[in-house]
């Protein structure tokens, strides 16, 4: 998990203080110093770290605390709440509705994993009863359409693209029009990767946006990008005004604090985390459960959702239910259920560190 080392260091700093017999202002300051050092080493923006330091100190005024106050619990709660505030911009992301065409446009740097994430998101909605489709408007990268076609075919998701049309705005508009006519609920448009210094590509991005009028624009951000995340996300925000962020490559050991800085810089919520290469490796993001998992408390909600995604509409699950209802459980039932569990991937990704 990205930020895993950060979680361990913060946890250790808080635990060292709460296990101490003497919780005084000096020990409290030492804990804050260690937490701030951990955040800085994880590439979290300096201004954010300074703001966090002030917020924690303001919430625990040692000089004026009544004797009856449990200082250890107050400190634990304060650290948790302030870490949640770092990744929670208090902005509601777009929620698609069934019965109408919801157009979602993906933007981001090249190599961030947009094309794979497009398919993951389409499959996420598909398993929840939405009719989802994909449009490849990346006419710049060689093999982009082939990659999307391969992913979409594997996930059994309809797709649209062109091997001859070079104008991405035209391809995007044609694809969206086609799937709107066919009454798809979710239409996800993949676009070329671009950098803030590539002005022509940024103009192209706004042209695509104008052509398809998306209900939501999502920035796909590489979780390993580091300090560059803040400036890049701010540039994309100014040009495309995206309303949500998906962080990819969070299954590695990179610092990952740049993603937190991107949230603060754009006041935009993270909605999903890419946790691996498989189609099911897309985890819904929620600030409190994320910090709980970061600090080793686990996140049972995402585990339950992942299990439901694996077993939903599964013929195996329905057949097993019938057998169990009839008082039957065969060796074949056992094997098929073990296979379903294996599809979930490693549980350590969703359990306490």
Ordered domains of the chain (ranges, CATH): 4-87 (1.20.120.140), 102-297 (3.40.50.300), 303-349 (no CATH)
Distance of CA 263 to the CA centre of its chain: 11
Looking at residue 351, what is its pLDDT? 47
Taking only the tens place, the pLDDT of each residue in 94-148 is: 999 999 999 999 999 988 899 999 999 999 999 999 999 999 999 988 889 999 9
Looking at residue 260, what is its pLDDT? 79
Phi-psi region of 300 (alpha: psi -120 to 50; beta: other; left: phi over 0): alpha
Q: How far is Cα 103 from Cα 186, in angstroms, rounded to an integer?
A: 6
Q: What percent of the chain has pLDDT over 70?
A: 86
Mean pLDDT for all residues in the chain: 85
Q: What percent of the chain has pLDDT over 90?
A: 46
Taking only the tens place, the pLDDT of each residue in 163-179 is: 999 999 999 999 999 99
Both tokens of 198, joined, read 């590539």
Average pLDDT over residues 274-303: 79
CA nearest to 155, candidates 115, 189, 123:
123
CA atoms within 13 A on the CB side of 334: 4
Is the model more confident about 322 or about 346? 322
Instruction: Give the torsion sign (CA, 175, 177, 183, 186).
Output: positive
Sheet with 159-160, edge to edge strand ranges: 159-160, 132-136, 186-190, 102-108, 216-222, 244-248, 270-274, 282-284
Task: Give the 3-state secondary structure of residue 137.
Answer: coil
221 forms bridges with which residues in the sheet? 247
pLDDT at 300 over 50: no
Contact 107, 204 (CB under 8 A): no
Q: Where do runs of H (alpha helix) occur along 109-253?
A: 114-126, 144-155, 168-181, 199-212, 228-240
């Amino acid at each position: 998990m990205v930020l895993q080392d950060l979680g361990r260091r913060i946890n250790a700093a808080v635990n060292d203080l709460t296990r101490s017999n003497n919780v005084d202002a000096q020990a409290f300051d030492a804990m804050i110093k260690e937490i701030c050092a951990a955040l800085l080493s994880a590439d979290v923006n300096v201004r954010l770290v300074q703001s966090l330091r002030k917020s924690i100190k303001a919430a625990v005024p040692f000089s004026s605390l009544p004797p009856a106050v449990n200082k250890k619990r107050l400190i634990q709660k304060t650290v948790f709440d302030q870490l949640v505030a770092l990744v929670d911009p208090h902005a509601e992301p777009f929620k698609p509705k069934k019965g109408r065409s919801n157009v979602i446009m993906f933007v981001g740097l090249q190599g961030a994993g947009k094309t794979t994430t497009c398919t993951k998101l389409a499959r996420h909605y598909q398993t929840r009863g939405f009719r989802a489709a994909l449009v490849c408007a990346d006419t710049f990268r060689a093999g982009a359409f082939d990659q999307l076609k391969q992913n979409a075919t594997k996930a059994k998701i309809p797709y649209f693209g062109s091997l001859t049309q070079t104008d991405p705005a035209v391809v995007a508009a044609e694809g969206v029009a086609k799937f709107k006519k066919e009454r798809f609920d979710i239409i996800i448009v993949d676009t070329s990767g671009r950098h803030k210094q590539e002005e022509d590509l940024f103009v192209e991005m706004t042209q695509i946006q104008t052509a398809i009028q998306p209900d939501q624009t999502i920035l796909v951000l590489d979780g390993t990008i580091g300090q560059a995340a803040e400036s890049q996300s701010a540039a994309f925000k100014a040009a495309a005004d995206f309303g949500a962020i998906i962080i990819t490559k969070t299954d590695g050991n990179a610092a990952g604090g740049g993603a937190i800085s991107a949230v603060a810089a754009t006041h935009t919520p993270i909605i999903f985390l890419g946790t691996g290469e498989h189609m099911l490796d897309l985890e819904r993001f929620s600030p409190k459960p994320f910090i709980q998992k970061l600090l080793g408390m686990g996140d049972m909600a995402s585990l339950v959702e992942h299990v439901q995604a694996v077993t939903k509409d599964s013929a195996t699950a329905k057949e097993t239910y019938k057998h169990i209802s009839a008082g039957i459980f065969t060796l074949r039932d056992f094997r098929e259920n073990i296979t379903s569990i294996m599809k979930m991937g490693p549980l350590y990704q969703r359990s306490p560190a």
